[in-house]
Amino acid sequence: MALEEILGNLTKTPGEPGANPQYNPETLTKTLNYITELSQANLSTKEGLEKYTELTGLPIREISPERIAPTKKQIDAELNERLIDYANIHIGSITKEISLEDQFQIAYGSCPAEKSNSEKYEIPRAIIQDSKGKIKMIKEKPQEYISGIINDSPDFMKGIVGRFSNEVLDIDARDSQKKAFGAIEKYGPTKFITDTYAPQISIEEEISKKRNRIEQERKTLIQSMETNLDAQGQAEYFAPIMEKEKSLQEEMNKISGLNELRSTIIQTAIATIKGKQAADDYAQQQAAL
């Protein structure tokens, strides 16, 4: 499959930002397969160069492998950016490809620690975070957890509730997670995942705009800087822009889990889609026998 077709599937207009508004699960599988094949094309071999031409449709005659390599990197970067755009607007449809069992795990694992402005979302979020905190304490500080149970018990039970502590720890951990999964089920696992994802996308887009402005501002400062400034003078000169860069990094840290969440959703969805396709192909083969 040529590069032009892949970009056509991903974008509204090939060569320009903006995702294809039509969702097709094959777009995910074909794009990831394409990116993998392109990355494996070894430009130092005849076979690799032929594969590169087959995948991209671009000429290689009279062009050195050293010059082709940057183009290959540019294509990879473009495809990954366009795939992110595509995932961002179709995250709900992509999530629905995933089995409910995996959706529950993703919803639980990606639940943010920060409080939400949405009252409806905050209910399951708080329950999940409480569950995570309890399970973490059970795993890391089991004796302290049991001591807390003993301290909270009436006097006549203090010598009793500490018995069979390992069994108590296992049950409490399971019950805590079961309660969290119940909250996810009530809210809807697909909706919880998309509602976890969506606010971070808005922040990511705003951060991207700020990053571009700051980068341009730094370039302007470099061009305008007096040549006779010493080290201290340069430090003072760049102090304001460095403060902006520090602030931007703090904002980026708030959505540090976004790329991991996006990758998890896409990779899990693709594995599910391929599994369904393999099952369908097998069923057709059996029916033809």
Cβ contact 255:205 at 8 Å: no
Say yes or no to pLDDT of 285 above 90. no
Q: DSSP letter string over 196-227? A: HHHHHHHHHHHHHHHHHHHHHHHHHHHHHS-T
Residue 211 lies in a domain: no
Residue 151 lies in a domain: yes
CA distance 31 to 5: 10
In the chain, the number of structural domains is: 2
- For residues 128 and 85, membership in a common domain is answered with no
Amino acid residing at 254: K
Cβ contact 150:162 at 8 Å: yes
Q: Work out whether the CA dihedral 75, 76, 78, 83 comes out positive or negative.
A: positive
At 40-85, the pLDDT tens digits run 999 888 899 989 999 998 888 888 878 889 999 999 999 999 999 9
Q: Work out whether the CA dihedral 14, 18, 23, 27 comes out positive or negative.
A: positive
At 251-272, the pLDDT tens digits run 888 777 888 999 999 999 999 9
Res 210: pLDDT = 92
Nearest to 38 by CA among 82, 15, 68: 68
Res 255: pLDDT = 78
CA distance 282 to 276: 10
Q: 98 φ, ψ to 5°?
A: -85, 145
At 183-232, the pLDDT tens digits run 999 999 999 999 999 888 888 888 888 999 999 999 999 999 888 888 89
pTM listed for this prediction = 0.81
> Is residue 82 packed enough to be buried (19+ CB in 10 Å), middle (13-18) or exposed (0-12)?
buried
Nearest to 63 by CA among 71, 54, 74, 55: 71
Residue 247 lies in a domain: no
CB atoms within 10 A of CB 277: 13
Residue after which a domain boundary falls, among 141, 158, 190: 190
Residue after which a domain boundary falls, among 160, 190, 220: 190
- Provide mean pLDDT across the span 6-35: 91
Residue 245 lies in a domain: no
- For residues 29 and 85, membership in a common domain is answered with yes
Residue 171 lies in a domain: yes
Res 1: pLDDT = 58
Range with the poorest average pLDDT among 135-144, 157-166, 176-185, 227-236: 157-166
Three-class secondary structure of residue 47 per DSSP: helix
Residue 94 lies in a domain: no
- For residues 78 and 13, membership in a common domain is answered with yes
At 98-156, the pLDDT tens digits run 999 999 999 999 999 889 889 999 999 999 999 999 999 999 999 999 998 888 888 88
Domain span holding position 125: 111-190
- For residues 23 and 80, membership in a common domain is answered with yes
Residue 37 lies in a domain: yes
